Chains A and B, each alone.
Chain A
Amino acid sequence: MNNFLLLPIIIPFFFGMILMFGQKNLKYQRSFALLGILLAFVSAVSLLLKVKNDGIQKVTFGNWPVPYGITMVSDMMSALLVTTSLLIAFFVVWYGFGSITKERERFFYYPGMMFILTGVNGAFTTGDIFNLFVFFEVLLMASYLLIVLGGEKGQLKGSIKYILINVISSALFVITVAYLYSVVGTLNMADIAVKISDIHQPGIITVIAVLFLMVFGLKAAIFPLYFWLPTSYAAAPIPVLTLFGALLTKVGVYAITRTYTLFFVHDLSYTHDLLMVLAIGTIIAGCIGALAYFDVKLIIIYNIVIAVGVILFGVSQMNEMALKGAMFYLIHDMLIKAALFMLIGIVIYITGTSDLRKMGGLMKTYPALGWFYLIAAFGLAGIPPLSGFVGKLLIVQGGFDAGSMWSSIFILASSLLVLLSVIRIFLYAFWGEEKETKGTVDKKVYTTLFVPTVLLVLITVAYGVGSEWMTPFMNDAAKLLNDPSIYIDAVMKGD
């Protein structure tokens, strides 16, 4: 028994509740939001260290025996993801002080942030498939609030699409859970895994596996279910977009990874080959989108799609090397996407437009911004020693080990297109002649935006340079993903 692992979920929830009061007092709202995230982050870090030292942590609510109560399980993968989400949320909230409008701040912006964190952390930590659905709804409801908050025309258009897609995928999730329940008769994830391996994954379970891929694929934006993502995300204000881009699709990726490494491991030639083909399709679709547009937001948004494809390719290979790479790349991608969205948010703030053709020559007036953008862009593309390198290296190495040579070469080639797409922003916005800017730049606001962004970029650099230090954590996560029996034993046996 150990309630400690609930702290990263409960602290944001508690602060979300107390932030519902005093909504007009900005000082109180801002300081308590930061305080809440900071406390949750500290508890997440100590949880991470505890998981590293003592192995998987779990708690079953109400002291029920394991398959009957709701179990919360914190293994290395979920502890890492929870820590990263809280770290990113801290910088996003800080960045929001300069970027989000006061009217939004006074209207439940910070409680929305807190509840979205509750949902995300809960979804990463839960060990019960229906509880996963409930935490998905928690984070989705908060995300509906954040995407539509402000009520501009573009936001209304984008959020209708976003909500409709998520309502449909939630219904599909319920349907899939109903099918799974009728076959295995249990909802606890570890117990489901045991029951599925007892019946050796008959055809119906493979059908359910594909249904799960559709459900989580709609959330994670894999090919061909990514169509809703670009326009709905582009509608949100920059800090909200940052949080969505960094966290929400990654929850879908996490859910696919969890189900495909824990439940559906007995018919790899069908389920995981399908996942691999879809991952390749996702990368192609993302690359086309990232090169097609002259809008900075859309370019980075399509880069989310590419990264989802790369991570899922690593998962589909099902060997320890590729899974370790997928874990490295997942954490890297959350950090770097947040940094990139924050950087282009500053560019949009300075120039007053998101159209690349109307920008130019920022390097003369904002050299520091330019160089940090270049570092983040190189990190995204995976140039050593920056953060994207190790993950992609291990994924490709795992792909070669698993015998999928051509698709691994394709992953390497896609890095070039990623680099091209982000360097295009650099060439258009930072080089060339200076153009007239419509936005008025307030030095104080600029500093509020710039400081958290730079810190986050530096963290991604440290993540890349210090990957040696991260390796033991990633090894544990990969070992656990590669061998579901570790997870099952930890949950089903003893306290």
Chain B
Amino acid sequence: MEIIMAFVIGFLFMAAVYLILSKSLLRIIIGTGLLSHGAHLLILTMGGLGGEAPPVLNEGAKTFADPLPQALILTAIVISFGVTAFFLVLAYRSYQELQTDDISLMRGSDEYE
């Protein structure tokens, strides 16, 4: 199971890198979304996919899934959610202000080249 997950995560990273290297700002943000999906799945996989019950104390279950990676993912998800929301609004603002979403036209600054 971990091997399959590793391949899936590798594919997600590949897609993310490809999208981040593209010119359109929106594609870049989609790329960062995929990147954080890959990272979160990686934490889950690296914690081990063993255990027969979810990490909630109940009678009958002998082994539980590792609770720590799940807490880490939950933290990482809300953080990346906050950053992505900010980034999307920033992209919207810069589209309004700069009239383009082409990242290659956003080089340099107005004061000097």
Contacts and interface: CB of A to CB of B under 8 A. Distances in A.
Interface of A: 130, 133-134, 137, 140-141, 144, 148, 151, 153-154, 156-161, 163-164, 167-168, 170-171, 174-175, 177-179, 181-182, 187, 231, 234-235, 295, 353-355
Nearest to B112: A295
B86 A163 contact: yes
B52 interface: no
B111 to A, nearest CB: 6
A134 B46 contact: no
A168 B35 contact: yes
B98 A153 contact: yes
Contact of A164 (B20, B68, B75, B93): B20
B30 to A, nearest CB: 12
A154 B109 contact: yes
Interface residues of B, number: 40
Nearest to B105: A157
A355 B45 CA distance: 52
A181 B107 CA distance: 39
B103 interface: yes
Contact of B90 (A133, A140, A163, A178): A163
Nearest to A68: B68
Interface string B77-105: 00110110011001101100110000100
A117 B47 CA distance: 32
A153 B111 CA distance: 11
A141 B86 contact: yes
B14 to A, nearest CB: 14
B109 A158 contact: yes
A174 B43 contact: yes
B76 A174 contact: yes
Given A156-B90, A163-B87, A231 B108 contact: yes
Contact of B111 (A154, A156, A161): A154
Given A168-B35, A170-B79, A182-B48, 18 more contacts: A130-B72, A133-B76, A153-B97, A153-B109, A156-B94, A157-B98, A160-B94, A163-B86, A164-B28, A170-B80, A170-B83, A171-B32, A171-B39, A174-B39, A174-B42, A178-B42, A182-B47, A295-B112
Contacts of B47: 178, 181-182
Given A153-B110, A181-B47, A231-B108, A164 B32 contact: yes
A158 to B, nearest CB: 7
A295 B79 CA distance: 36
Contact of A156 (B28, B45, B98): B98
Contacts of B111: 154, 295, 353-355
Contacts of A156: 90, 93-94, 97-98, 106
B75 A130 contact: yes
A187 B24 CA distance: 38
- A-B pairs, 6 with minimum CB distance: A182-B46, A154-B109, A178-B46, A156-B94, A174-B39, A178-B43
Contacts of A159: 90
B76 A167 contact: no
Nearest to A182: B46
Nearest to B109: A154
A181 B76 CA distance: 15
Contact of A157 (B72, B75, B79, B106): B106
A154 B106 CA distance: 9
Contacts of A151: 93, 97
B68 to A, nearest CB: 7
A159 B109 CA distance: 11
Interface in B21-67: 25, 28, 32, 35-36, 38-40, 42-43, 45-48
A148 B89 CA distance: 11
Given A151-B93, A153-B98, A156-B94, A137 B42 contact: no
B66 to A, nearest CB: 9
B112 A157 contact: no
